[in-house]
Amino acid sequence: MAEDLLHKKQFPPYTPKKGEDYMSTKQLAHFRAILASLKDELGEDIERTVHTMQDEATVFADPNDRASQESDIALELRNRDRERKLIKKIDESIARIESGEYGYCDSCGVEIGLKRLEARPTATLCIDCKTLEEHREKQVGK
């Protein structure tokens, strides 16, 4: 979902200059722009959904049509809930940029990496810590 929205805006991958510090001002500005764009796109989708649901609020006499409409609405609401959670993560990521914590792993403190952040701008764990977390989740059965 987030990756689809990034492709709509066509943000070119950030190429650091030789000797450029990790999470330099330019890098932070790049990721802030990606996050802001993603948030705007999600907000537009949510707004569009609200208007669509208001416009399509018809009462069908046929129970099958009504059930189909309710199923469509339930699916749409689930998607919007996911997007709402993603907006919260985006806001947290922007706050991390402001505090100077963006780009560093919450668990071990190492650099997350530009390529990982390009793929998932809301990432808070490096690939090693994320992999370890996923293995633990599988073992516990979450």
Summarize pLDDT for 24-60 with one digit per residue, the tens: 999 999 999 999 999 999 988 888 877 777 666 666 7
Distances (CA, A) of 124 to 66, 117, 120: 42, 9, 9
Amino acid identity of residue 10, one-letter, is Q
Cα separation, 126 vs 130, in Å, equals 6
H-run or E-run covering 29? helix 25-55
pTM score of the predicted model:
0.80
**How confident is the model at residue 7, as a pLDDT?**
46
Q: Domain map of the chain by residue range? A: 2-9+20-103
**How confident is the model at residue 25, as a pLDDT?**
94
Of the candidates 113, 125, 97, which has an alpha carbon nearest to the alpha carbon of residue 14? Answer: 113
**How confident is the model at residue 56, as a pLDDT?**
67
**How confident is the model at residue 53, as a pLDDT?**
72
CB atoms inside a 10 Å sphere around CB 52: 12
Q: Is the pLDDT of residue 2 over 50?
A: no
Of the candidates 98, 93, 99, which has an alpha carbon nearest to the alpha carbon of residue 112? Answer: 93
The CATH H-level superfamily of 2-9+20-103 is DksA, coiled-coil domain (1.20.120.910)
Percentage of residues of the chain with pLDDT beyond 90: 57
Q: Is the pLDDT of residue 99 over 70?
A: yes
**How confident is the model at residue 6, as a pLDDT?**
47
Angle at 126 between CA 122 and CA 132, to 5 degrees: 115
